[in-house]
Structure 1
Amino acid sequence: MDSLVLSERPRSKREIVRYKIVSRNSGELKGTSVGFRTRHKLKGEWKLEDAKSFTLDTEEEMRSALSFIAASCDGAMPSADGRYLMLPIGDQDAGGVEDVLGSLSADGRAGLLVDLLREAAEAPELLTTLLDQASKNPAFFAEAAATLNLARYKSALGELRYLIETSTREQDFQELLAEHPWMFGSEYSELLQDRNLVRGSQQDFVLRRTADKFIEIVEIKTPIPDRKLFRFNEERRVYYAGPELAFVVGQVQRYIEELDADRLRIQALDGEDTHKVRAKIIVGRDVDDGQRQALRRFNGHLHRIEVLTFDQLSQIAGQVVSYLERLVPAAAGR
């Protein structure tokens, strides 16, 4: 056991201690550990204070603690992973810092950016500084924001398209859209958490419209594979709504009637005006041109309700991703 006294007062002492771990039988050195020990003087004897003492048992713990202490002493911001780049600089050394940062790999620079954004999210002063810089250079920061969103949005779009081809569970689509409400398009500015406006039922989504701030409800069904939204009567040469489509339209019509009837209570309790509230239904696929034309005519006769297919939802989300790709042409080409 070796030790170093870190601080000593008449009645207390703090030490850092290195323990050698040896075999009881052979005396062979098995390893070392480092401990921080606090002792208190009582009746002329030094007594160990267990509550203020602890041991680092592995090399990983020791190296992480060493990096953390060194970074803290140099004024850096320690992080949980224990990896730091410590570079003492003076007023004239800014160019040297730029050279060091420039020598980092792409992954290293990306890691620094992630750390910076994480710190900004928790540090109001840093966030304010970033926003100030963004106002001075909006084009650059618009491209940076698009770059950060692009990979996440493309991944989510891929997941949506996969679900459209494979899933028959409404919950799968509801969970994905709750995490990525941007897929509904820029027509909406906010996804509301309160989905119990109608007594005894819960709407799938309640969204706030960008243009007028009124709310709109969205009902999610499934792509209903192997079944078309519209049936075709060969004798009359006419398309008509199939049972799945007719059912969900009736369901949403009832929601709208209840929202209208309960308008004053909702306005008083929830602060939302549901007068003439509109709704969207997402159901089915674009199977062929006949189905698309039938849906267009069907929507033309609906009042306060619009039906979209999952293919159309995918196109809306795809337009958002395409817009981001146009802002980041280099990233889009990879």
Structure 2
Amino acid sequence: MVNSWTPRPDGSGFDLRPGASQWACENAAIGELHRFLSARFGPPEPRAGHDAPLTEVIRKVRSGEADAGQLAQLAEALAEAPNAAEAPAAHGALQVLLDGIQTAKQRDVIAALSEAVRNPAATENEFQRILGESWWMFGGKYIEKAKRRSLTALTQVAVPLIRADGALHVVELKRACVPDLVVKHREFFVVGPEVNKAVGQTLNYLREFDEQRDVIKNRLGIECRRAFATVVIGHPAHVPDAAARDQVAETLRTYNAHLSRVEVITYADLIQGAEKALELAPSEPG
């Protein structure tokens, strides 16, 4: 429905007295009017910032580009809608908002980990605090985190994960600042002593889990026989020698090829994998 009023002669506004001209259309006529106006005047120019159209805000939420202000704008629009109770369920807008908030939280975790990794003095406890409840960063094959870090009397693992088949997967977190992450040996590079030490420690954990499999299974309901492990250690940025730094990825790949139950990755690998997972996440409802 459209109303029209006559401007006042002095330019101070419009004469809003009753009796104004009025025109209305409904149903299919609305589409015809839209097509006529679009052909006559063209589509409206998109607005920027917090005045962006709702569709643009939704696009940004789905892609993870939306900032806190745009998420708040979408939440307010949902709350103020006349059919606020039905609209989210009908159009999936509430799920879009929740997905956007979750993506923003995940990006915050990645940013916090990246900042901690850059600090040479950062300890394993700091990485444990950031990653303790963010086990999604290790991939989609894990369905939950074990409720207890101490599975035996002698071991306490950093992040105990449960795979889709119910088996245990241990994540052992080490320092990011490891200057001798890889070292030159004759004509090639090999992993440094800290890597070998971390892998040896993790293998001892796995052996203990194998030996106490029945006790852990009965007490905690976790299948830990032939469990697997990931060691996260070092970052190429902390390797001072440029030649060694360039060989980190290939050296670890060669080293991992000879391991059966333990994989060694750097914090750079972990961060890159998490970032790629967010980029590849579906942007449209499936």
Contact 2:75 2:97 in 1 (8 A): no
**Does 2:134 match 1:180?**
yes
Match of 1:110 among 48, 52, 75: 75
- Report the Cα distance in structure 2 between the residues aligned to 1:113 and 1:311, rounded to whole angstroms: 39
- Report the Cα distance in structure 2 between the residues aligned to 1:112 and 1:141, rounded to whole angstroms: 11
User: What secondary structure sits across from 1:275 in the alignment?
Assistant: strand
2:247 matched residue in structure 1: 290
Contact 1:260 1:275 in 2 (8 A): yes
2:256 matched residue in structure 1: 299
Query: Is the alpha carbon distance of 1:114 and 1:267 closer, same or farther for their aligned partners in structure 2, counting shifts above 3 Å?
Result: farther
TM-score normalised by the chain length of structure 2 = 0.63
Query: Is the alpha carbon distance of 1:178 and 1:289 closer, same or farther for their aligned partners in structure 2, counting shifts above 3 Å?
Result: same
1:144 matched residue in structure 2: 97
Contact 1:146 1:327 in 2 (8 A): no
Match of 1:230 among 174, 182, 190: 182
Contact 2:166 2:222 in 1 (8 A): no
Query: Is the alpha carbon distance of 1:281 and 1:113 closer, same or farther for their aligned partners in structure 2, counting shifts above 3 Å?
Result: farther
Query: Is the alpha carbon distance of 1:229 and 1:130 closer, same or farther for their aligned partners in structure 2, counting shifts above 3 Å?
Result: farther
User: What secondary structure sits across from 2:169 in the alignment?
Assistant: strand
Contact 1:266 1:272 in 2 (8 A): yes
Deviations 1:53-93 (A, max 9, x none): xxxxxxxxxxxxxxxxxxxxxxxxxxxxxxxxxxxxxxxxx
Contact 2:161 2:168 in 1 (8 A): yes
1:198 matched residue in structure 2: 152
**Does 2:276 match 1:319?**
yes
Q: Name the Cα RMSD after superposition.
A: 3.0
- Report the Cα distance in structure 1 between the residues aligned to 2:269 and 2:213, rounded to whole angstroms: 31
- Report the Cα distance in structure 2 between the residues aligned to 1:114 and 1:283, rounded to whole angstroms: 46
- Report the Cα distance in structure 1 between the residues aligned to 2:73 and 2:190, rounded to whole angstroms: 59
- Report the Cα distance in structure 2 between the residues aligned to 1:189 and 1:218, rounded to whole angstroms: 14
2:46 matched residue in structure 1: none
Match of 1:267 among 204, 207, 217: 217
- Report the Cα distance in structure 2 between the residues aligned to 1:297 and 1:142, rounded to whole angstroms: 43
The answer for unaligned runs of 5 or more in structure 1 is 1-101, 116-125, 329-334
- Report the Cα distance in structure 2 between the residues aligned to 1:280 and 1:157, rounded to whole angstroms: 18
User: What secondary structure sits across from 2:170 in the alignment?
Assistant: strand
- The offset of 1:130, in angstroms, is 9.8
- Report the Cα distance in structure 1 between the residues aligned to 2:102 and 2:79, rounded to whole angstroms: 13
- The offset of 1:141, in angstroms, is 5.6
- Report the Cα distance in structure 2 between the residues aligned to 1:220 and 1:305, rounded to whole angstroms: 13
Match of 1:219 among 158, 172, 175: 172
- The offset of 1:229, in angstroms, is 1.7
Deviations 1:205-235 (A, max 9, x none): 110113x22121110001124x13221123x
Contact 2:166 2:223 in 1 (8 A): no
Q: Which has the higher contact order (CA 8 A, sep 6+)?
A: 2
Contact 1:283 1:308 in 2 (8 A): yes
2:6 matched residue in structure 1: none
Query: Is the alpha carbon distance of 1:130 and 1:171 closer, same or farther for their aligned partners in structure 2, counting shifts above 3 Å?
Result: farther
User: What secondary structure sits across from 1:196 in the alignment?
Assistant: coil
Identity %: 26
Larger Rg: 1
The answer for unaligned runs of 5 or more in structure 2 is 1-53, 55-68, 240-244
Query: Is the alpha carbon distance of 1:113 and 1:185 closer, same or farther for their aligned partners in structure 2, counting shifts above 3 Å?
Result: farther
- Report the Cα distance in structure 2 between the residues aligned to 1:309 and 1:108, rounded to whole angstroms: 39
Contact 2:163 2:169 in 1 (8 A): yes
- The offset of 1:302, in angstroms, is 0.9
Q: Aligned runs of 1:1-334 on 2, under 5 Å?
A: 107=72, 110-111=75-76, 133=89, 143-166=96-119, 167-210=121-164, 212-225=165-178, 227-234=179-186, 237-286=187-236, 288-324=245-281, 327=283
- Report the Cα distance in structure 2 between the residues aligned to 1:182 and 1:113, rounded to whole angstroms: 29
- The offset of 1:112, in angstroms, is 7.0
- The offset of 1:108, in angstroms, is 5.8
User: What secondary structure sits across from 2:166 in the alignment?
Assistant: coil
- Report the Cα distance in structure 2 between the residues aligned to 1:111 and 1:220, rounded to whole angstroms: 41
Query: Is the alpha carbon distance of 1:130 and 1:175 closer, same or farther for their aligned partners in structure 2, counting shifts above 3 Å?
Result: farther
User: What secondary structure sits across from 1:186 in the alignment?
Assistant: coil
Query: Is the alpha carbon distance of 1:113 and 1:230 closer, same or farther for their aligned partners in structure 2, counting shifts above 3 Å?
Result: same
